[in-house]
Copies of this chain bind each other. A is one copy, B any other.
Amino acid sequence: MEYTVQKLGRLAGVSTRTLRYYDEIGILKPTRINSSGYRIYGQAEVDRLQQILFYRELGVGLQSIKDIVTAPSFDGTKALREHREKLLEKREQLNELIANVDKTIALTEGGIIMSDKEKFEGFKQKLVDDNEAKYGKEIREKYGDETVNKSNQKMNGMSQEKYDEMTKLAAEVNETLYAAFKTGDPAGELAQKIAVLHRQWLCYSWDSYSKEAHAGLAQMYVDDPRFMAYYDEKQPGAAEFLRDAIFIYTGTK
């Protein structure tokens, strides 16, 4: 059976360009060239192409493949072992990349909330990071990446629940805030309820509570434009109102 470029291409599932390229780099030359200059491939070339594609699927470079298929007694196993090492390294790099991307996504999503958490240092990712920094290398060496990743996921999972509670509470704070804002009275019952809710919300990330810190945070809501933007998004003036309510709650002058 003889094949032209396109026939062989269809047979093997490669483009004609690929076959011409393989001819060009001397990795697979046609049996002969017919009178019109067409490339004609025979059975030997079909077999060889299959070999080439096999190694190509393994991710081996064409130059290495050339060595493998042209040299009569080339040590293919050795080449494959070296190639395997490279692949393992690549996978390690990829794993690190993915982990970093995950961290970055976690850091940036939630945006302002994240900055919030960062300032409070009650940051779940930070915990994971610290854990990583302290034990990551050893644990990875002992139990392999999978274990560590699972552990991190677990930690993220746990924190996730907490985080969801926090978010829920935060939503309640916001809703109540806008309702209280309409009353115009930061000393009123609704406004003071907000202060309590807000305190509860804080305690998810604070180890210990103090009125001074609470008040300081309330002032920061007004001073920091990012928090201003967050609270004032739906209701301009809400940030000041919240601060006033908390000041009254904490007894700040």
Given A91-B94, A94-B90, also A84-B102 (CB < 8 A):
yes
Q: Which residue of B lies closest to A102 (CB)?
A: B84
Is there a chain B Cβ closer than 8 Å to A101's Cβ? Answer: yes
Is there a chain B Cβ closer than 8 Å to A95's Cβ? Answer: yes
B104 touches A58 (CB 8 A): yes
A101 touches B77 (CB 8 A): no
B105 touches A58 (CB 8 A): no
Counting contact residues on chain A (CB < 8 A from B), the size range is: 20 to 34
Q: Please encode chain A, from 93 to 109, with 1 for each CB lying within 8 Å of some chain B CB and 0 for all others.
A: 01101101110110011
Q: Which residue of B lies closest to A57 (CB)?
A: B100
Q: Which residue of B lies closest to A105 (CB)?
A: B80
> Chain B nearest CB: distance from A92 CB in Å?
10
* Whole-angstrom CA separation of A58 from B100 in the bound complex: 7
Q: Which residue of B lies closest to A87 (CB)?
A: B98
* Whole-angstrom CA separation of A104 from B146 in the bound complex: 25
Q: Which residues of B contact A109 (CB under 8 A)?
A: 77
Is there a chain B Cβ closer than 8 Å to A225's Cβ? Answer: no
A101 touches B146 (CB 8 A): no
A105 touches B84 (CB 8 A): yes
Q: Among the listed B77, B81, B108, B144, which residue makes an inter-chain contact with A76, where contact means beta carbons less than 8 Å apart?
A: B108
Q: Among the listed B84, B97, B101, which residue makes an inter-chain contact with A98, where contact means beta carbons less than 8 Å apart?
A: B84
Task: List 16 A-B pairs, Cβ < 8 Å.
Answer: A57-B100, A59-B97, A76-B108, A77-B105, A77-B108, A77-B109, A80-B104, A84-B98, A84-B101, A87-B94, A87-B97, A88-B98, A90-B94, A91-B91, A91-B94, A91-B95
